[in-house]
């Protein structure tokens, strides 16, 4: 089956029926996918302020009302507690459960944060003819812990995690300009070249994901990464949180093209 | 005295000593001035989410930590409770006091929100040779209530207030492009021409400020206005809030040029 031309509604329905239980990379092409963080209201202020203070790693696509379950404003007919194929449950900062449906955890005290995802800007880069090696090699993007300190907010703090894409030297400038138009999905790179500067000692050994090599004519380009807020979440050791499982994103009804910020 | 070349530190010191107790328009040229809203922590989440959901009327320049008084990150050596010449105290949504210093109200439970102000983009427009009639006539900008509904957040809701500047037809396009680079100070216009569309029946009668006429070759251009959050504050009827007095802004150490968003 090719799900790249399926509508977001179809994908969400299939997931809700447990008929599509795979990572969502490439599905519903043209529509934005989001990272999910669900928190008790008690911690929502600190997290919202953390996201405001660190917009590059934590670009918010949507913040639900407290208790809101159906995110109709960004995904008609959706249920954020059933429409992702794989969820992680954290207690006191520890991953304690990985499950396919979190309906049983819904309460009127929870807030859902949908955070922009690099799939959007990657598809724009590809559309503009810029080669993304990990996509061509069907690997995961390489991600690294850095020495870039984030701005704290209450219980949330930490360093930025970045994703790295080797970009042809002749394309780096265009890659910067294209992604700079997408502030809601991490925006322009935070660093170009020289990994040591941001505390990456060995570029061949990512902390997450796959290293796919860097060719002679390529430059490592670093973007703020959506893994950052999950790390901050773990470090905060807050009593309860739900996130999506890695690779299993929330497929929204927001068109990538509507995320361009002028 | 000409205060346009004074540093922000000097202006804040003069205000703290009650030696400069006038509106801040034109002082410390080149530096951003901000609207102030101080709220009890209990209401800070709703307000922060309101600002996130309505970034054009409520562009946040800075959000303090809870209890933070010295906003050193945006204004070295400042005290937000003494460095504005005129404050309004609201109780249950009603203006109950207008005073020169709110030191006595400081508590560890309060959060300060600094909201971007149109002074920044006006100075950029003037620098680019675009005429702003109310500045030339030393009048206040004309502001209007509209039918543009804001996104609610908890106790905060309402309609957008806009400011209107008559712009030469040949300059409208440039005015849009220039202000679009300043998302943190209201950004691009929300409406160009045809006031009736946004619920303004008589353009000659602003709800706040002064109407300075619209010439044959001018088009009324509407920007989201910083009065909006104060209206939402009043309508919320929350028990306590502090704001700056109209025209008396917080003079930050942020350069206007650093507010350009790419």
- Shortest distance, CA A202 to any CA of chain B (angstroms): 31
Distance CA A193, CA A216 (A): 13
pLDDT at A262: 63
Distance CA B45, CA A42 (A): 10
**CATH number of the domain located at residue range(s) A8-117+236-257 in this protein:** 3.40.1640.10
Interface of B with A in 178-207 (CB under 8 A): 180, 183, 188
What band does A261 get if pLDDT is binned at 50, 70 and 90? confident
| Residue spans per domain, chain B | 8-118+238-257, 121-228
pLDDT in tens, A74-125: 999 999 999 999 999 999 999 999 999 999 999 999 999 999 999 999 999 9
The domain made up of B121-228 is a member of CATH 3.30.2040.10:
yes
B109 touching chain A per CB within 8 A: no
Looking at the predicted structure, is the pLDDT value of residue A217 above 80? Answer: yes
- Shortest distance, CA B85 to any CA of chain A (angstroms): 28
Looking at the predicted structure, is the pLDDT value of residue A26 above 90? Answer: no
What band does A34 get if pLDDT is binned at 50, 70 and 90? very high
- Hey, are the CB atoms on B63 and A45 less than 8 Å from each other? no
pLDDT in tens, A189-207: 999 999 999 999 999 999 9
Read off the DSSP letter of residue A208: B
Taking phi over 0 as left and psi of -120 to 50 as alpha, with beta for the rest, B199 belongs to left
pLDDT in tens, B28-38: 999 999 999 99
More confident residue, B153 or A25: B153
What band does B1 get if pLDDT is binned at 50, 70 and 90? confident
Q: What is the mean pLDDT of residues A160-189?
A: 95
pLDDT at B262: 64
pLDDT in tens, B194-232: 999 999 999 999 999 999 999 999 999 999 999 999 999
Distance CA A184, CA A60 (A): 7
Looking at the predicted structure, is the pLDDT value of residue B113 above 80? Answer: yes
CATH class name, domain A119-228: alpha beta
CATH number for domain B8-118+238-257, candidates 3.40.190.10, 2.40.50.100, 3.40.1640.10, 3.20.20.140: 3.40.1640.10
- Strand duo B87-91 + B94-99: pairing: antiparallel
Looking at the predicted structure, is the pLDDT value of residue B191 above 80? Answer: yes
Task: Look up residue A95 and give its two tokens.
Answer: 């991953």
């Amino acid at each position: 089956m090719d799900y790249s031309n399926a509508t977001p509604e179809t994908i969400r329905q299939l997931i809700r029926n447990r008929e599509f239980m795979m990572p969502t990379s490439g599905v519903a092409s043209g529509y934005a996918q989001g990272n999910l963080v669900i928190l008790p209201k008690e911690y929502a202020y600190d997290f919202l302020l953390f996201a405001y203070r660190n917009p590059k790693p934590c670009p918010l696509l949507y913040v639900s009302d407290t208790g809101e379950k159906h995110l109709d404003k960004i995904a008609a007919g959706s249920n954020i507690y059933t429409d992702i194929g794989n969820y992680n449950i954290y207690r006191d900062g520890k991953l304690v459960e990985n499950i396919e449906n979190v309906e049983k955890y819904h309460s009127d005290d929870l807030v859902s944060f949908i955070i922009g995802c690099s799939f959007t800007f990657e598809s724009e880069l590809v559309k503009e003819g810029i080669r993304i090696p990990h996509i061509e090699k069907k690997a995961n993007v390489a991600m690294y812990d850095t020495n870039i300190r984030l701005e704290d907010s209450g219980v949330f703090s930490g360093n930025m995690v970045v994703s790295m894409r080797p970009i042809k030297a002749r394309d780096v400038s265009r890659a910067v300009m294209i992604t700079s138009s997408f502030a809601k999905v991490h925006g322009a790179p935070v660093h170009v070249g020289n990994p040591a500067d941001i505390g990456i000692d060995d570029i061949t050994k990512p902390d997450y994901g796959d290293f796919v090599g860097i060719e002679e004519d390529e430059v490592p380009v670093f973007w703020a990464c959506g893994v950052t807020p999950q790390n901050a979440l773990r470090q905060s050791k807050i009593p309860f949180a739900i996130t999506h499982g890695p690779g299993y994103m929330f497929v929204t009804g927001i068109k990538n093209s509507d995320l361009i910020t002028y």
